[in-house]
Amino acid sequence: KTECEDLILQVMLKCFNHAETFVYRKGEVKFRTYFAQIVHSQAVDMIRKSAAQKNLHCELPDNLDPFNELFMEEWRKAVFEEAKTELRLRVDEKTFMAFELYGLQNRKVDTVADILEMTPNQIYVAKNRCLNILQKIIQRHNENDGELHLEI
């Protein structure tokens, strides 16, 4: 097992052990913050144990500042993927693929048109339609989570 696998296991165990007693209070604490604290504390514990086993002195900050930014980056990626999944459910598959290939992966419009058997104009229309819908989905996520600041 790798250290990452061990960390994932420890975080999962901690979450499962606290699942029965965890009470969500809207507006007080976000689940993301609660989860980040568990990940941080488990990572710090693992680092300290490893350093102690190797007789190394290890000072780790108690605050979450560097960790929080990394966590927020990953959280934004996860929310963006969730938003894309919602978009995919709201448009037909060809429209979504045109948006994914041309709008997000920046492939050439002629290449995408050939792959999807669409005209370049249809690709442009699909991209704009999906972009408008995705912006509304992301806006809703940002309104629900004032700290998210998710952008396309």
**Tens digit of each residue's pLDDT (9 = 90 or more) over 14-41:** 888 887 887 777 777 677 777 888 887 8
pLDDT of residue 145: 80
Residue type present at position 82: E
**Tens digit of each residue's pLDDT (9 = 90 or more) over 105-121:** 999 999 999 999 999 99
Query: Does the predicted TM-score (pTM) go above 0.85?
Result: no
Q: Which residue intervals of the chain are DSSP H helices?
A: 3-19, 31-53, 65-90, 93-98, 109-116, 120-144
CA angle 137, 140, 143 (to 5 degrees): 155
pLDDT of residue 52: 66
- Alpha-carbon distances, residue 57 vs 6, 52, 66 (angstroms): 22, 7, 21
